[in-house]
Amino acid sequence: MDETADIIIIGGGVMGTSTALHLAEQGVGEVLLLEKSSLGAGSSGKSGAILRQHYSHEVSVRMARTSLQFYENFQARYDREIGFCQPGMLFIANEAQREALERNVELQRSLGVDTQILDAAALRAAEPHARFADDALGAWEPEAAYVNPVKTVHGLAAAAQEAGATIRTGIGAAEVLRDGGAVRGVRTDGDTKIRADVVVNTAGPWAGQILDQLGLDYPLQVVRPEQAFFEPPADVEERPTMYADLLNGVYWKPEQSDWVRVGKLAFDDDEEVTNPDHYDEGVSNDFVSFAHSALTDRLPAFEHAVSWGGCGALYTVTPDSHPLVGAVPEVEGLYLASGFSGHGFKLAPAVGRGLTGLITETDPAPFDPDFLAVDRLRHDRPVTVPYSYSILG
Ligand SMILES: Cc1cc2nc3c(=O)[nH]c(=O)nc-3n(C[C@H](O)[C@H](O)[C@H](O)COP(=O)(O)OP(=O)(O)OC[C@H]3O[C@@H](n4cnc5c(N)ncnc54)[C@H](O)[C@@H]3O)c2cc1C
């Protein structure tokens, strides 16, 4: 071997950098993160980076809550600005979904989340510029926030380096080295062999390729969601809050500029991407017009918004729309965190802490290794959700 490290992390997105930070803070020895391109070059850089706690399972709510608090305190703790904004989020449904909405809001409240159900009259009073049918029903979460994803990934990486981790960009892991059933390190694309007894695969849309090379079969698929951006007319004064509009099938959020980003809640019809190094980063006219009509259906003032087009991006998805996180049972020392199915940014601090707990045999809470176990689907233990949009978790 040419070099050694204690732990090698593959991928410098939000999962890899968060894991590097949590491991380095734990003082576990030499932590080396390899990023083949640049930090945030995968899904993370283009993320909406919405941080909400509206989930249907206790573990997810706890992970989202701990992570929200981590992001909120990041600047005070690490002295780096990550664009934390807290406009709140509305989840719009109707009477047909009352049971699921109420059950989830009750669960979240029992775990300390500030959230409440609003009927149509309360929705109209809270959002006078929006349109709601008489049977509309909402869940309002005032603590929901978002961050700037690029600043956040760079902030996590810088904090990890200050805690002692090494981060190398422009260097890819070409091969995970194994000796029978155990990890032995990584061979880089520059043909350097780095010895390590622990390798963490946080390669996002590329994570499946790394597993394939090892002959491991995990249900990770890459799809291409589209996003559209609109700038409201100058006479629209209200900065819209964030919405997950279950009735129109879209979410939207303000960007750091005056733009509003619109994305779809479902990814079932998104095009599959077989090579994440070469995918269509453009947006179709059909998507822009679908996004515009869904937005104006709810917020009529956006009828005359300027359309800025949009982009194609990458989600790594699993059959139950929940990530695979934890030890890979076939290869000792190999860990995986991928398949976040369009809702991982908000969970990354808890994932970094959870992986650190698993690797160092300390408490991984609020992460629960069984709930997100990498082999749960093989054992027929999918995570189920009460919404038709499983991205909501
Ligand atoms: C358009 C969009 C909107 C989203 N909105 C939200 C949201 O509002 N809220 C939310 O919580 N989540 C959201 N998500 C999901 C969230 O952004 C992702 O779950 C998260 O960013 C995944 O991070 P990651 O670190 O796993 O992967 P990535 O960010 O893709 O990072 C993987 C990295 O690994 C590197 N890499 C790959 N192969 C190798 C190799 N062999 N060697 C070295 N490096 C390698 C890549 O270059 C890449 O930088 C959104 C995602 C997208 C695309």
For the chain, which domains are there? 3-49+149-219+320-392 (3.50.50.60), 89-142 (no CATH), 226-312 (no CATH)
Best residue among 287, 340, 390 to mutate for probing ligand 1's pocket (most ligand atoms within 8 Å of CB) is 340
In this structure, the chain runs to a length of 393
Query: What per-residue confidence (pLDDT) applies to 233?
Result: 86
pLDDT in tens, 303-346: 999 999 999 999 999 999 999 999 999 999 999 999 999 999 99
The helix (H) or strand (E) run that includes residue 226 is: strand 226-231
Give 191's pLDDT tier (boundaries 50, 70, 90).
very high
Query: What per-residue confidence (pLDDT) applies to 388?
Result: 72
* Residue 195, phi then psi, degrees to nearest 5: -85, 135
Query: What per-residue confidence (pLDDT) applies to 154?
Result: 98
Tokens of 131: 């349109």
Q: Is the CB of 206 under 6 A from ligand 1?
A: yes
Residue nearest to atom 48 of ligand 1 (CA): 42
Q: What's CA 301's distance to the chain center, in Å?
A: 30
Beta-carbon-side half-sphere exposure of residue 1 (alpha carbons within 13 Å): 13
pLDDT in tens, 20-61: 999 999 999 999 999 999 999 999 999 999 999 999 999 999
Q: Is the CB of 173 under 6 A from ligand 1?
A: yes
Q: Is the CB of 208 under 6 A from ligand 1?
A: no
The Cα 39–Cα 170 span in angstroms is 9
The Cα 144–Cα 323 span in angstroms is 21
Q: Is the CB of 15 under 6 A from ligand 1?
A: yes
323-334 residues labelled b (16+ CB within 10 A) or e (exposed): bbbbbbeebebb
CA of 151 from ligand 1 middle (Å) equals 14
In percent, how much of the chain has pLDDT > 70?
99
The Cα 51–Cα 37 span in angstroms is 26
pLDDT in tens, 107-162: 999 999 999 999 999 999 999 999 999 999 999 999 999 999 999 999 999 999 99
pLDDT in tens, 249-301: 999 999 877 899 999 999 989 999 999 999 999 999 999 999 999 999 999 99
Best residue among 166, 343, 346, 390 to mutate for probing ligand 1's pocket (most ligand atoms within 8 Å of CB) is 343
